Structure 1
């Protein structure tokens, strides 16, 4: 299937590309984004699959690739694999002589509050009976509290 753009879409694309070429800051930002995308693609091609979701390639500066790991364990594993990762990146065409690993902790979402579980009336009655038999003990008190979850 062939995609044919309408004249309005072509004009819009030309305006956007002109905006990036006319504005030096946007052009530099666009170039940096392309470099980051390329280094991420090359990193994804060589990093072991179990580590891929926990790492992100950063920028290449002075022939050094910065890699961000989600936690210290992942960073340690990457450091163990550095020689083979370097060879893989060089085979991919990325000119790097070292890899810098940084831990970049992501903020975790707030934990959901635990839902209070309820028990059936039949189970509650059985627990109340047992709590009465064990009255005065720590176990009896705990079972009595449990029997009130209706």
Structure 2
């Protein structure tokens, strides 16, 4: 049985893919060392072509902040050993963002009883109907 690393070195197409993956990993590591911690989860380093690093931001606000920090980021990346002269920032919105699950809130028995009394006083009005539905959340 062949080792995976041997498979990547023997096949020319896979060797080129492996080399590109190593470049991307190196760029990401150096980017993580330079970018502020608050922006790190919202950015990702991309290709490095013709001394230009492409950086992907999750939204426009993050992209704007990166653009403000470009001079210091370029100097920091050059100190890390990357031969870059510019950074291109692109907004790449994630297609499926997970929504936070809402915690179902319940009423205490005393609060529900007070709301039921108020709903009975306002019976027949739109507000009374809404309060009646609210009081049923126990």
Q: What is the TM-score of this pair, normalised by structure 2?
A: 0.85
Number of matched pairs? 138
Classify the secondary structure of the residue corresponding to 1:75.
helix
Classify the secondary structure of the residue corresponding to 2:7.
helix
Give the superposed CA RMSD: 2.3
1:51-62 aligned at under 5 Å gives the runs 51-62=39-50
Seen in structure 2, the aligned counterparts of structure 1 residues 92 and 112 have a Cα distance that, compared at 3 Å, is closer
Larger Rg: 1
Seen in structure 2, the aligned counterparts of structure 1 residues 66 and 19 have a Cα distance that, compared at 3 Å, is same
2:43 maps to 1:28: no
Q: What is the TM-score of this pair, normalised by structure 1?
A: 0.79
- Structure 2's unaligned 5+ residue stretches are none
1-side partners of 2:136 and 2:114: how far apart?
11
Shift in Å at residue 128 of structure 1?
2.0
Classify the secondary structure of the residue corresponding to 1:56.
strand
Map of 1:98 onto structure 2 = 86
Q: 1:63 aligns with which of 46, 51, 66?
A: 51
Seen in structure 2, the aligned counterparts of structure 1 residues 90 and 122 have a Cα distance that, compared at 3 Å, is closer
